[in-house]
Amino acid sequence: MNSDDLKKVLRKSIKAQKQILPIDIAQSSEQLVFSEIELMKEFKNASTILAFWSLPDEINTHDFLVKWSKSKKVILPVMVGLELDLREFETPENMEQSNSYGILEPKTGKRIDPSEIDFAIIPGIAFDIKGNRLGRGKGFYDRLLPKLSNAIKIGIGYKFQLVQVVPTAEHDIPVDKVICN
């Protein structure tokens, strides 16, 4: 099997595991992941945080983002063509579905240069211990991650999303640390 076929198999396997994940386990995982993030000195020292507004099959980031947007500048990605623009998160009420993937994005909010980000929380379908990540296959984060030169990049997920090896291609960009609980 080539790398692309392996990625498809891994995406399918993780999707199946997400579909049978009990809600109480999902909520417990979310609490463990964000507790670990909040204990990191890099997070405590960060003033500008990039995160993502989670989809229903991802670790729920919503409460975490609302909580920390009161004391830190929280930035969310906005899809513009094949790139991710970065905008400041204001409130959940200021979010809209403006893309074909069903992802909610800030309707307004100041545009932020990627160099301003100190701490980045990155989604993924799967991660391995080396920080390699498998995304949804469109390369949005692979194009964004190299621009986050001043940020520590943290991949988050459920325990089963941490796998032995993520198949990679030349364009795939790893994260600095993975937190999966």
Query: What one-character DSSP code corresponds to residue 73?
Result: E
120 inside domain: yes
Instruction: Answer yes or no: is 35 within a domain.
Output: no
Residue 165 resides in a domain: yes
Burial of 156 (0-12, 13-18, 19+ CB in 10 A): buried
pTM: 0.95
In the chain, which stretches have pLDDT less than 70? 100
Within a domain: residue 27?
A: no
Three-class SS string for 3-38? HHHHHHHHHHHHHHHHHCCCHHHHHHHHHHHHHHHH
Q: Has residue 121 been placed in a domain?
A: yes
Number of domains in the chain: 1
Pairing of strands 133-134, 83-88: unpaired
Each residue of 111-145: pLDDT tens digit? 999 999 999 999 999 999 999 999 998 889 999 99
Q: How far apart are CA 161 and CA 181, in angstroms?
A: 9
Question: Residue for token digits 């999707």?
Answer: 15
- Here the tokens at position 127 are 């991660």
